[in-house]
Each structure stands twice: as structure tokens, then as C-alpha cells.
Amino acid sequence: MRGFWDRLERMSGKTAIRSALRQVSRERILQALQWNDRNGCYTDRLAKLEGFEPITKRQAIEMVVETIDNSVWHHKDPRRQTNPGKKRLTQRNRNRIVTMAERATEKECRRRRLPCWRQSGDGYTAKAQEIFNRAYDYYEAEILSRR
């Protein structure tokens, strides 16, 4: 249950959690609620013993969303500081991307017979900068897709 609950806590918002929980069975949601609050009576058996009506799937989903909302999003929880699902570039990979983009830019400028550097030598010309940005985006996407 811990992994299931952690995945829910790391989702980006209430709507994402609701849509994910709609795909899960009512019993699984009730088990997760019971796991999160051991003193609660969420399962049908415990609710019947306590004299409560069974919880519907919609109610269970809202309980999960509110529990996560109150416990995670309103506090400085380190699990919410970064999105572990998002791929990130290391400094080494950034340097590799810049190097590859620079080589591609110089090659493309030679192919098109464009001036690559400004006369003052302090950077790319506007067209070369455009080529560099496109190359950087391409190589960044390529490296991120390998992970």
C-alpha cells in the first residue's frame, strides 16, 4: 500500500488523483484509506461493525483527495519539492548538449555559407543562434529520451 499511496501523493493535483483513482477498484481505495488511517473504519466490514453506511467509491475518492490535500500540499513536504517522475539533466549532460549543438551550428553555418560568429566575437549571429537553439532542443530531447 505504501507505494500506491506514495504515487498518489506525488501526482500534480486533485484532478490527476481523481482520474487515477477512477481506474482503481473501490476495494483497493478503501484498503488504501484503511492503511493510511489504522483507527478509521473504511472497509465495509468495519463500517458495519461501527454502525455506519458503507462508503461509496465517489466518497472514497474524495476522502483520499482531501487526506492527501491536507497532509501533503499544505505543508512543506519534501516529496512535493521535486517531481520524481520528471527527467532531469545533469551538468555533464548539459555540457555534452552544448558541445553537440555548437558543432551542429558551425557545420550548418558552413553548409549554408552563413557567418557563424558576430564580428566582435562575442557570440553567435541571430541566424546562428536560431540554429543553435534548435540543435540544443533536439539533443536535449534525444538525451532525455534515452533515460
Question: How many residues make up the chain in this entry?
Answer: 147
Q: Do residues 72 and 36 make contact, with C-beta atoms less than 8 angstroms apart?
A: no
Higher pLDDT, 25 or 77: 25
Question: Alpha-carbon distance 42 to 102, whole Å?
Answer: 59
The whole-model pTM stands at 0.48
- Residue linked to cell 473504519: 41
Question: Alpha-carbon distance 131 to 108, whole Å?
Answer: 8
Q: Which pLDDT does position 86 carry in this prediction?
A: 53
Closest by CA to 139, choosing from 97, 87, 105, is: 97
Q: Which residues contact 114 (CB under 8 A, 6 or more apart)?
A: 108, 125, 127, 128
Question: Alpha-carbon distance 118 to 121, whole Å?
Answer: 5
Residue 32 burial (CB count, 10 A) = 22
Model confidence pLDDT, tens digit, residues 27-41: 999 888 888 888 888
Using DSSP, state whether 117 is helix, strand or coil.
strand
Boundaries of every domain in the chain: 2-80, 91-146
Model confidence pLDDT, tens digit, residues 65-119: 888 877 665 555 555 454 445 566 778 888 888 888 888 888 888 888 888 776 6
Grid cell in block for residue 135: 540543435
